[in-house]
Structure 1
Amino acid sequence: MDNIIYIFVITAGCAVLFNLIFRRYGIPTIIGYIATGIFISQLFGLKNNHDLSFVAEFGIVFLMFTIGLEFSIKHLMSMKKYVFIYGPIQVFATGFACSILSVYIFNVDIKSAIIIGFALSLSSTAIVLKTLNDNGHISKRYGRKVLGMLLFQDIAVIPLLLMIDIFNVKDGAVSSLIFTSMVSAVILIVILYFIGKYILSRVLYLVVSANSKEIFITTILFMVIGSSFLAHYFGFSYSLGAFIAGMLIAETQYKHQIETDLIPFRDLLLGLFFITVGMQINFNVIANNLFIIALVLITVLIIKALIIYLFLMISTRKKVALKAALSLAQVGEFALAIFTLLSVKGMADDKTLQILTAVVVISMVLTPFILKNVSKIADSMEEQDELMQAVVTTKEQDEIEELVNIDIPEYKNHFVVCGYGKLGREIVRQLKAKGCSYIALENDLNLVERGKNSSDNVYYGNAIQKTTLEKAHIKNCIAAIIAVSNEQKSELIANSIKNLGYDVNTIIRFADTIEKGLYTDFGDHFYLIKEREAVAKAIISKALKCKINNNLNQG
């Protein structure tokens, strides 16, 4: 026991130290956790074990649950093209290509090659979705496509695991195995739907009525873990059950509070998951097979990125297709589980599986750097880019305190602008030009500092939090203007304003009918402005002024 505590203390200390150092140089925290795993495995001679991997897997479970909270059934239906069209195309095309690659490089039989090829077609749910969540790109066009394909990949794990069993059973038992799996899927969906529709809201109401934070968090943990084990009991992945549970809870009024309370558990377990990834790196295997690992790694990355780019390019802009392709080029964590199962079934030799494991882990290590620069890479193809949210970077503590610790003076009959990005800055400029009083709220320290340098009334704060809105004296404002480009964040801010109970006039811009549908039940005080219509009105207004000026000159 003392030895376990000793290892835990060293691991936690290394994780903190590595991430503090890496963050100063803009290196993602995921790499810090992986580096911690490498260091611990070398220091103590530890290798990843089943029990540790089992606990770490719940980092992905909690991540999928929070993704489910953000993408309700209504969202999922709006993304059905990405999930059920783009997803199958990506998995089957890349799986087929990687299967052929496996036959020629590893000289395995066709059955093993199919399993290996389709395992390589899977991408990293944990890394990609965490990064897209952190930088707010999950609601971008390419982010939705990536999410849709990742969701299908998670579903595709089920028939892939089933395929391993089929290849290892007698012919007479195959039909029985397929039938059992289909029945299990129907039963699971019916049970979760029944619980979500008839039980969940009532239970959450009783828990919230108890007015106990501990009971509330315990209930949510029970729901997440319970839905995961229910899915696993019927032969499906833990994360798929958690995602379905998240979507069901997303239909309730408690989704935002649940998401806020679960984030610490999710991030802690995800950190543990990435530490276990680092523990699987075997430098002896890499050194002895450096050429073939590099060859397989580069070939797989190129094949996946090229296939995804080519079929997405047909229906979307090249830049969006390239961003999605680069985001999904890596091989994911589910491949590691599948390779372990291949080893147990004796369907591939240890050397081949060690090489493949090294390929997967290295591709996962490279992914955060690729995702961090995916927009820069894609933007080189076009002159203009979409509106982007700046990622919060580490600053000196005294600079942070100078920007954060500011009391907002009392305002009345003013405008509250939520967001100081490109759109927010333009709104502030227009308000200043008309002599209107305003307060702008922004949770990006770089943008807050930029606003202060421009003498704008910009204050650091998260507009999702009710306390921040209260400090901005939103009760006394003329109107609140939501000026963020992230669809989910915009909805969260709108919900926070709605829940204040002040009937604040709120103006929200939306891009398409899918976004508009999120605000159908918000009430008469919420005004929706469609982007294209607003731009068209501005253009026509400017054109009419030109016409008037031209007539005056001719007169």
Structure 2
Amino acid sequence: MAVESAMGDQLVRVVGLLGAAVVMVPLFRRLGLGSVLGYLAAGLLIGPFGLGWFSDPQAILHVAELGVVMFLFVIGLEMRPSHLWSLRGEIFGLGSLQIGTCIAVLTGVALLFGLPGKAAFIGAAGFVLTSTAIVMQLLSERGDIALPRGQKIVSILLFEDLLIVPLLALVAFMSPLPDTGADSRWLGVVTAVAALAGLVAAGIWLLNPLFRLLAAVKAREVMTAAALLVVLGSALLMDVGGLSMAMGAFLAGVLLSESTFRHQLEADIEPFRGILLGLFFLAVGMALDLRVVASNAGLILSLVAALMLAKGLGIYAVARIMRSPHAEALDRAVLMAQGGEFAFVLFAAAAATGVIDARTNANLTAVVVLSMAFTPLVVLAVRRLLPDRSGPSMEGIDEAQDLAGSVLIIGFGRFGQVMSQSLLARDVDVTIIDTDIEMIRSAGEFGFKVYYGDGTRLDVLHACGADKARAIAVCIDDRTAANRIVELCRGEFSQARLLVRAFDREHALELVALGVDYHIRETFESAVLFGRAALEEIGVDADEAQSVSEEVRRLDAERFTLEVAAGDVRAGRPLIIGNTAPATPTPFTTPRRESQRLDRADGRAEATDA
């Protein structure tokens, strides 16, 4: 009975935790304040300094950090090594410049408030570590993570995650307590390097074979368990090495980003990520010690305002120095002006080693928690007081949500507009999405219903009814985005035929490798017809001009098929190129000059020999 009573008490707390979130989050979202602030308010309400339903928020916070870990794993799945390498300038260049500037400015502010030198530096170093959870959640809600401005913020956050390790080592050097010896510090460095090397080795040689083996078993629950094992195992390995758990999960995601299983892994992790991330925000709300705030209200509130303002100004100045537009620099400054969860780790380590006293630790912790709580409010206030004038208004534009159609058209530029006419002429039920607001508004004036939606996002594709569509037509002129959409559709919406606009011959080969059902190069067919008209205009017989055009198509199709065979990129699917379904390729010879001339019709001067 005693055991059942204890379990009942725990169950009541869990129900209270979920109930607070279910009530507060929708309420705050309805008020336009965002889900993050709703979670923080719910945590404050039921925490030890509210209704007192929970007495140990730190324990909950420790478990809830897994939400941040899973969030970083999902982000890592979108960051292929080549893409991550392309961000090295932002990670180490922009990141180090922003961190160095902000630490210097924040240390000066802390000294002005009377903190001792060491405490001022520790407070500044902790506050400069932005909350990954809050910033990523706000970026995710806005759909900005994949945009260039979002990628810069992600790069800086990654650098800050790396920074926690040298900061903790610096705390050990600053400690007035007896030195534990250089041997232990070197042992810690070796352990960290070994943990990192072990994770990279496992990611390269073990993870993909493991998931291939599990996929062959065809047990979905086992794949879900394996996904959780990878996330938690990588986090544990980094934690043992004294590194960031979130960084470990991010690296595991990057190592799996080239895997064919990444979309399934993302879908498996998503429910756990959302719940645990919400739990993290709840725990942060619980951790706000109202007694400390009440006893030092003037100092703490002044420090929050001064540090957020100083950090924001520092971030804005660095962004402008690095030639970011005013709107982007202001947005980054507002989003990243708060302290973060790693500050708790740094302050606790500094208190344990005697660098700061317990009272300073409590005050600085309260400052960071309040800054995290105020961030959604500041973002909302800045958005209303200083609206972003860098782009058109979304007023009157409907976002893609709960749609369904036989054909999903992604992109409604010149190409999409023309191809849609055949479908509309036969009264085919189509759903059209685009991200160009002015084009959407103009299309509406001519009777077209186009929804705002980014086709590179899996949640948007689901909202557009891609899982029910018979065909998906990718009509955008961005080859990278088109490839991303193809990968998502092939992994998640295999029931739909996939038709894609190819940018050029090289892109067409990539699309064949990805397994599209149909593709056409955006300029090839029009160029062939243009050449036929040119022949007729200079007096060539119409039938002969038609015959020449057909020969151009035939030779191009044969050459393309040979290129596909040479690259082994058929992906096991029927090959359809433009308007021609080429027969089995046969040996032929094309003079170099003729081959160059034919390829120029597609906007490329390539010499191709048989």
TM class by shorter-chain length?
Answer: 0.7 to 0.9
* 1:72 matches 2:80: yes
* Distance in 1 (alpha carbons) for counterparts of 2:181 and 2:108: 25
Equivalence for 1:440: 431
* 1:137 matches 2:131: no
CA RMSD between the two structures: 4.1
More displaced, 70-79 or 286-295? Answer: 286-295
2:80/2:258 contact within 8 Å kept:
yes
Equivalence for 1:469: 466
Superposition deviation, residue 369 in structure 1: 3.5
**Paired residue secondary structure (2:339):** coil
Superposition deviation, residue 82 in structure 1: 0.9
Equivalence for 1:385: 391
Equivalence for 2:307: 300
More displaced, 500-509 or 7-16? Answer: 500-509
* Letter of the structure 2 residue corresponding to residue 85 of structure 1: G
* Distance in 1 (alpha carbons) for counterparts of 2:384 and 2:449: 31
- Shift in CA distance, 386/75, structure 1 to aligned 2, threshold 3 Å: farther
Deviations 1:29-73 (Å, cap 9, x if unpaired)?
111211111111211263444432221111111111111111122
- Shift in CA distance, 418/378, structure 1 to aligned 2, threshold 3 Å: farther
**Paired residue secondary structure (1:417):** strand
* Distance in 1 (alpha carbons) for counterparts of 2:488 and 2:152: 28
* Distance in 1 (alpha carbons) for counterparts of 2:101 and 2:56: 32
2:176/2:353 contact within 8 Å kept:
no
- Shift in CA distance, 463/160, structure 1 to aligned 2, threshold 3 Å: closer
Equivalence for 1:186: 193
Larger radius of gyration, structure 1 or 2?
2
Equivalence for 2:321: 314
Deviations 1:332-359 (Å, cap 9, x if unpaired)?
1111222223333333233322222222
Equivalence for 2:489: 497
- Shift in CA distance, 466/133, structure 1 to aligned 2, threshold 3 Å: closer
2:344/2:365 contact within 8 Å kept:
yes
**Paired residue secondary structure (1:471):** coil
Equivalence for 2:39: 33
* Letter of the structure 2 residue corresponding to residue 299 of structure 1: A
Superposition deviation, residue 273 in structure 1: 0.7
Q: Where is the helix percentage greater, Structure 1 or Structure 2? A: 1
2:77/2:262 contact within 8 Å kept:
yes
* 1:355 matches 2:355: no
Deviations 1:483-518 (Å, cap 9, x if unpaired)?
899x87x655321334539773313789xxxx9999
Equivalence for 2:605: none
* Distance in 1 (alpha carbons) for counterparts of 2:23 and 2:385: 30
**Paired residue secondary structure (1:14):** helix
* Letter of the structure 2 residue corresponding to residue 349 of structure 1: D
1:31/1:368 contact within 8 Å kept:
yes
Equivalence for 2:64: 56
Equivalent positions of 1:396-415 (< 5 A) are 404=402, 408=405
Equivalence for 2:409: 417
- Shift in CA distance, 14/504, structure 1 to aligned 2, threshold 3 Å: closer
Superposition deviation, residue 457 in structure 1: 5.3
2:128/2:339 contact within 8 Å kept:
yes
Equivalence for 1:95: 103
* Distance in 2 (alpha carbons) for counterparts of 1:496 and 1:27: 32
Equivalence for 2:222: 215
Superposition deviation, residue 227 in structure 1: 0.6
* Distance in 2 (alpha carbons) for counterparts of 1:149 and 1:240: 13
Residue of 278, 282, 293 corresponding to 2:285:
278
* Letter of the structure 2 residue corresponding to residue 250 of structure 1: S
Identical residues among aligned pairs (%): 27
Which structure has more relative contact order (CA 8 Å, sep 6+)? It is 1
**Paired residue secondary structure (2:145):** helix
Superposition deviation, residue 264 in structure 1: 0.7
Number of aligned residues? 499
Superposition deviation, residue 372 in structure 1: 5.2
**Paired residue secondary structure (1:507):** strand
* Distance in 1 (alpha carbons) for counterparts of 2:521 and 2:184: 51
Equivalence for 1:456: 448
- Shift in CA distance, 387/453, structure 1 to aligned 2, threshold 3 Å: closer
**Paired residue secondary structure (1:456):** coil
TM-score, scaled relative to structure 2: 0.72
1:15/1:32 contact within 8 Å kept:
yes
Residue of 295, 317, 328 corresponding to 2:336:
328
TM-score, scaled relative to structure 1: 0.78
**Paired residue secondary structure (2:199):** helix
5+ residue gaps, structure 1, are 394-399, 531-555
* Distance in 2 (alpha carbons) for counterparts of 1:304 and 1:517: 48
Residue of 343, 352, 360 corresponding to 1:344:
352
* 1:149 matches 2:156: yes
Deviations 1:235-285 (Å, cap 9, x if unpaired)?
112111111111111121111111111111001111111111111122232
- Shift in CA distance, 171/348, structure 1 to aligned 2, threshold 3 Å: closer
